[in-house]
Amino acid sequence: MSQEKDVLILAIESSCDETAAAVVKNGREVLSNVISSQIALHTLYGGVVPEIASRKHIEKINQVIQAALDEAGVTLQDITAVGVTYGPGLVGALLVGVAEAKAIAYAAKKPLIGVHHIEGHIAANFIEHEDLEPPFFSLVVSGGHTHLVRVKDYGKFDIIGKTRDDAAGEAFDKVARAIGLGYPGGPKIDKVAKEGNPDAITFPRAHVEDAPYDFSFSGLKSAVLNYINGCQMKGESYSQADVAASFQKAVTDVLVANAMHAVEEYQVDQFAIAGGVASNSSLRQAMKEACEERGVKFYYPSPVYCTDNAAMIGVAAYYEYRNGVRSGWDLNAVPNLKLGER
């Protein structure tokens, strides 16, 4: 019996504020997943400062990659191919990872595979769910994106809906800042909301006219700011926990409503959430219940694979590798890369 050789991907991710590297075996087995987070640094400024992010990536990237190789117990010679996020993201941040991946792949004479960041987020679901295979639907909710996606096959996507303005995570971060929770807002709102009443304040649930799968969060964000200003003008205090819980419920309601609309319309039987906001406890619970009610299998990654990491990029790179995708030595960072485009 012939035995196929293992495919080992060294993956690099530097699109925002995490410098990350991982080694992934045969698409689904994570041998190492090293993340150097800059969150503490950006917290000082209340959000990600692109210039600082690039500088930190350049400082950390070599150590992070070495640690990923060491932890996996492999050398560059053992690696089959190098995968790297080349968009979307902050251009200066992306360039650090892309330049590094090109240099390594060129020197070690390995194929190079440019990966779309959102494809990576979706692929994170394959790590812990052996049974999950396309076709399925996915809701990708992160700091930069809110996409409802039909995953037709590995590396093949249709975008069914997306946000018209703010991303879900961006709304979490802005509201958190407004109510004094600081950066990054998502996990802080998630925590504080547990002490609050989600029905205390009725915030708007926006539906985009003639586009049932699109999202809009800027009105919700403004409604929260107006509520806070209103309280302050009247000299009244407001409950941080109630605002957090009510805002979180409004976001969750809209995400779940659009997702379930798609489930019914497209007769979906498997649904996977992805991205930083996919670790939100209220969203996970509500999606789980809504999927169960409809007999849909529901998948979500562990929190470490929801927020930015390189393991997810390694998984996506593996499937692109199997599809025959190879990037040239002219691979560049594409800050506004569209999902499904190369």
Contact set with ligand KG4 (CB under 6 A) = 16, 142-144, 169, 172-173, 184-187, 190, 275-277, 279-280, 307-308
Helix 218-233 with 240-265: angle, nearest 10 deg: 160
Distance CA 102, CA 107 (A): 8
Binding to Zn ion, residues 127-146 (CB under 5 A): 142
E strands, 224-301, in order: 270-274, 297-299
Residue 172's binding partner out of Zn ion, ligand KG4, none, with CB under 5 to 8 Å set by partner kind = ligand KG4
Is 263 part of any known ligand binding site?
Answer: no
Smallest distance, ligand KG4 to C-beta of residue 75, A: 29
Smallest distance, ligand KG4 to C-beta of residue 118, A: 8
Place of tokens 């800059």: 38
Phi, psi of 329 (to 5 degrees): -70, -5
Distance CA 165, CA 260 (A): 21
Is 7 part of any known ligand binding site?
Answer: no
Tokens of 325: 């995708």
Is the torsion defined by CA of 319, 320, 322, 328 positive or negative? negative
- Comparing CB distances to ligand KG4, the nearer of 69 and 140 is 140
Is 140 part of any known ligand binding site?
Answer: yes
- Comparing CB distances to Zn ion, the nearer of 98 and 223 is 98
Tokens of 314: 């390694």
Is 145 part of any known ligand binding site?
Answer: no
Please report which helix (H) or strand (E) contains residue 115, including its range. strand 112-116
Distance CA 305, CA 300 (A): 9
Whether a cis peptide bond, with omega within 30° of 0, leads into 88 is: yes
Residue 216's binding partner out of Zn ion, ligand KG4, none, with CB under 5 to 8 Å set by partner kind = none
Q: Which of 308, 309, 320, 337 binds Zn ion (CB under 5 A)?
A: 308
Smallest distance, ligand KG4 to C-beta of residue 39, A: 10
Distance CA 48, CA 38 (A): 9
- Comparing CB distances to ligand KG4, the nearer of 190 and 320 is 190
Binding to Zn ion, residues 180-209 (CB under 5 A): none
- Comparing CB distances to ligand KG4, the nearer of 47 and 212 is 47
Is 78 part of any known ligand binding site?
Answer: no
Smallest distance, Zn ion to C-beta of residue 136, A: 19
Closest CA to 21 of 109, 100, 129: 100
- Comparing CB distances to ligand KG4, the nearer of 138 and 280 is 280
E strands, 122-194, in order: 136-141, 146-153, 156-162
- Comparing CB distances to ligand KG4, the nearer of 173 and 242 is 173
Is the torsion defined by CA of 70, 72, 77, 83 positive or negative? negative
Closest CA to 142 of 281, 277, 280: 277
Is 70 part of any known ligand binding site?
Answer: no
Smallest distance, ligand KG4 to C-beta of residue 277, A: 4
Let me know the angle formed at the C-alpha of 173 by 172 and 178, rounded to the nearest 5 degrees. Answer: 95
Smallest distance, ligand KG4 to C-beta of residue 168, A: 7
- Comparing CB distances to ligand KG4, the nearer of 69 and 151 is 151
Residue 271's binding partner out of ligand KG4, Zn ion, none, with CB under 5 to 8 Å set by partner kind = none
Is 17 part of any known ligand binding site?
Answer: no
Q: Which residues are annotated as a binding site?
A: 117, 121, 140-144, 173, 186, 190, 280, 308
Q: Could you list the residues that contact Zn ion (CB under 5 A)? A: 142, 308
Q: Which residues are annotated as a binding site for Fe cation?
A: 117, 121, 308
